[in-house]
Amino acid sequence: MNKPTLTFVIPCYNEEATLQITVDYLNELLRQYIFNQLISEKSFLLFVNDGSVDATWQIIKNNGSNAVRGLKLSNNVGHQNALLAGLHFVNNKCDCCISIDADLQDDIAVTLPMIEQYLNGSHIVYGVRNSRRTDSAGKKFTAHLFYKIMKGLGCDVVYNHADFRLLSNKILTELQKYREVNLFLRGLFPVMGFTSTQVFYERKKRTAGETKYPFKKMLQLAINGITSFSNYPLKIITRIGLLVFLGSILISLWVAYVVITGRSVPGWASITLPIYFLGGVQLLALGIIGEYLGKIYLETKGRPRFHIEEEI
């Protein structure tokens, strides 16, 4: 069998603090794999600069070579879209591709079993975290909650897997068919099917720089993930609505009984409580519907998800 051509896709946003180390590490790894006849000499690294405002692009340019290539997006489009830009770019330029974060929190050593799984016939190899020891208690809890909710809603996401994975070129080609603007890649690949496996690793702390995923962005990603893959929240609304309606019928029966038996006391609670309750339920319902409506709006516009300004 011919040696496969492997590419690494690395989205980078303001990563000047860690990028040079990452380039050196991955370059060395690639050199070793080529030396050991595991992959072809045409293999390369692709750094996608996601509209960084620091020296990130300069660093990528300085390292530019056959093995180190760069893609400069015209503005910051977010991790998922930057990754997509890279995945589209390497399609048909390789046999398989591994996506990995620029901070090397993910263990590059397991890229070897990933490649082996690919050679054994897997189209998708998910990198799965063994534990979350390096995470703060808050991140651990919210992450766990997120996977629980996704599972409860019937979304088939791989537990503790982020965007560290190997994809065959076939998958990259299939990916071109997905046109959605609201992108949640880790929900997408399990939906595709194909032979897939998992490899396990321990996630490290960031080598340098700070996280580009503060709580607000994480929440956004989670909401996007849930609403992009499930209509269940809309169904919940209907059920709550039905329940409240039935409840109000019971209450009116009770009110009639109280009036008939002449025991009615001018009640404050019985008036204000339903107002707050119904107001809350309605706002919640409107909010959820709004989330979906906003999505439909974005999808119908069908705007491009990224622009490539420069290529190295």
Token representation of residue 167: 């994809």
Nearer to ligand UDP, 123 or 212 (CB): 212
Residue 240: CB partners within 8 Å, gap ≥ 6? 281, 284, 285
User: Which is nearer to ligand UDP, 45 or 82 (by Cβ)?
Assistant: 82
The amino acid present at 277, given as its one-letter code, is: F
Least Å distance between CB 29 and Mg ion? 18
11 part of the interface to ligand UDP, by CB under 6 A: yes
Figure out which of the listed residues 13, 47, 57, 201 binds ligand UDP, where binding follows CB under 6 A.
Answer: 13
CB 10, min distance to ligand UDP, A:
6
Which residues are paired to 9 by β-bridges?
Answer: 46, 99
Cα gap 248→308, rounded to integer Å:
57
**Which residues in the 87-106 window bind ligand UDP by CB under 6 A?**
101-103, 105
Per CB under 6 A, which of residues 163..222 are in contact with ligand UDP? 211-213
- Shortest Å, Cβ 123 to ligand UDP: 24
What amino acid occupies position 19? L
- What is the nearest approach in angstroms of Mg ion to the Cβ of residue 103? 4
Q: Which does 106 bind (CB under 5 to 8 A by kind): Mg ion, ligand UDP, none?
A: none
Unique residue bearing structure tokens 């580009």: 212
Among all chains, which residue has been given the structure tokens 């809603």? 153
76 binds, among Mg ion, ligand UDP, none (CB under 5 to 8 A by kind): ligand UDP
Using CB under 6 A, pick the residue from 6, 9, 12, 68 that binds ligand UDP.
12
User: What type of residue is 285?
Assistant: A
Query: How many Å apart are CA 244 and CA 237, to the nearest integer?
Result: 10
Q: Give bridge partners of residue 68 from the DSSP assignment.
A: 45
Q: Are 170 and 129 a contacting pair, CB within 8 Å? A: no
Which residues bind to ligand UDP, rule: CB under 6 A?
A: 11-13, 15, 50, 76, 78-79, 82, 101-103, 105, 211-213
